[in-house]
Structure 1
């Protein structure tokens, strides 16, 4: 049994995790601990506080005691708003506290894009434009070029969590760009686990979504590879050898 531990901010799109667990197989367990988010706002200061050590540390002991093999901070914006170096320090602190391999959704996007060989991407963000551009800057620090950004300007995770497949598809379509090798939807408050096959069929290219890459990152840390076609190209392709 492989046990994956996730620190999830508040309550919004967490329904994706049991759905993904069902698609992965019976020997993988997904454990979710909810962290206190403070103020629900896609604003830089609020997002930095959301991912502060004191808010993350509270849940790590619970995951460790549950027997998790790895832990992932399941929040994209609560990572990349700290910048590349700050996000690395955040993950190092999480690993020290948990005593486990650790990562975050921000780094999961980087590793997943590399896995499928996507060096040019488009971003479909629910965030305001200034926050979305910080994500593009984070990707740039990893050598991934953003060729287009579509922002929705939504301020709260609670509102994002109400989106249906229709809104998710519209966001992905508006973000897509002819030069993009993949489209990224970076918000763990967005329900996407049920929509990935439709998204990829509609766009004709890989689509990486926040909860999808977060679970994939946990598997990567636990040295597990799972074939799960319903979770998209990321879960079906052989890794790309980077040159």
Structure 2
């Protein structure tokens, strides 16, 4: 049994995680622990506070008691708003607090893009434009080329969590560019686990979404690779796209 641990802020699209667990197979356990959200706002100050060391520390005890092997901060914006160096320090702090290998969703996107062999990516952010731009900057710091961004201007995670399949597909299509090798949808408040097959079929290219890459990142930390094609190109054994 491989036990994966996640710190997830608030209660929005957390039901993606048991869905992903079911699709991965019986020897993988996904344990989700919630941190306090604070102010639900897609603003830099609020997002920085959401991912502060104090809030992470408050959620770590549950991870340790659960006997998980990894700790992943399941918030994209709560990581990249700190910048590349700040997000690295955040992950180091989490690893020290949890006493186990750690990462975050922001880094998961960079590692996942490398895994499937893509360098040029388009970004579909539910966030306001300034927040989406910070994510694009983060990806560039990780060595990726951002071919375009599209922002939906949503002010809160609570509103994002109400989006259905058509909303997600509309965002992905709007974000896509002809030269992008993959489309990235970075919000962990966005339900996407049930839509990955549709998204990739509609766009004819890999689509990486926040909760999907977060679970994959935890598996990567345990040196596991799982073949689960219903979870998209990222969860196939061989990359479908090469640079």
Normalised to the residue count of structure 1, the TM-score between the two structures is 0.98
> Any runs of at least 4 consecutive aligned residues in structure 1 with deviations exceeding 4 A, and if so which?
239-243
- 2:236 aligns with 236
Shift in Å at residue 223 of structure 1? 1.1
Contact 1:115 1:240 in 2 (8 A): no
Q: Cα RMSD (Å) of the superposition?
A: 1.4
Q: Is the 8 A contact 2:228 2:236 kept in 1?
A: yes
SS in 2 for 1:117: coil
Deviation digits for residues 105-154 of structure 1 (CA, Å, limit 9, x no counterpart): 00000000000111000000000000000000000001101001010000
Aligned: 1:86 with 2:86: yes
Specify the SS of the correspondent of 1:183.
Answer: strand
How far residue 237 of structure 1 moved from its aligned partner, in angstroms, is: 3.9
- The match for 2:139 is 139
Q: C-alpha displacement at 1:44, in angstroms? A: 0.4
Q: Is the 8 A contact 2:181 2:241 kept in 1?
A: no
| SS in structure 2 of the partner of residue 123 of structure 1 | strand
Once the two structures are TM-superposed, the CA of residue 239 in structure 1 deviates from its matched residue by: 5.4
In structure 2, what is the Cα distance between the partners aligned to 1:219 and 1:25?
A: 13
The residue number in structure 1 matching 2:195 is: 195
Give the aligned partner of residue 21 of structure 1. 21
Q: Equivalent residue of 2:91, what SS?
A: helix
**Partner in structure 2 of residue 213 of structure 1:** 213
CA distance in 2, matches of 1:53, 1:146: 29
Give per-residue Cα distances to partners, 1:31-65, cap 9 Å, x unaligned. 00000010000000000000000001111111111
Partner of 1:95: 95
For residues 84-109 of structure 1, give each alpha carbon's deviation from its aligned partner in whole angstroms, at most 9, with x where no partner exists. Answer: 00000000000000000000000000
- Between the aligned partners of 1:3 and 1:57, the Cα distance in structure 2 is 20
Name the counterpart of 2:158: 158
Cα pair 2:123 2:148 within 8 Å, conserved: yes
Mark the CA change 1:175 to 1:242 in structure 2 (over 3 Å): closer, same or farther.
closer
Match of 2:172 in 1: 172
| Structure 1: gaps of 5 or more residues | none
Residue 238 of structure 1 and its aligned partner are, at CA, apart by 2.2
Matches within 5 A, 1:53-132: 53-132=53-132
Q: Distance in 1 between matches of 2:97 and 2:12?
A: 25
CA distance in 2, matches of 1:132, 1:5: 27
Q: 1:48/1:28 Cα in 2 relative to 1: closer, same or farther (>3 Å)?
A: same
Residues 70-92 of structure 1 deviation map (CA, whole Å, 9 limit, x = unaligned): 01000000000000000000000
Q: Distance in 1 between matches of 2:217 and 2:176?
A: 24
- Paired residues, what number? 243
229-238 or 130-139: which moved more? 229-238
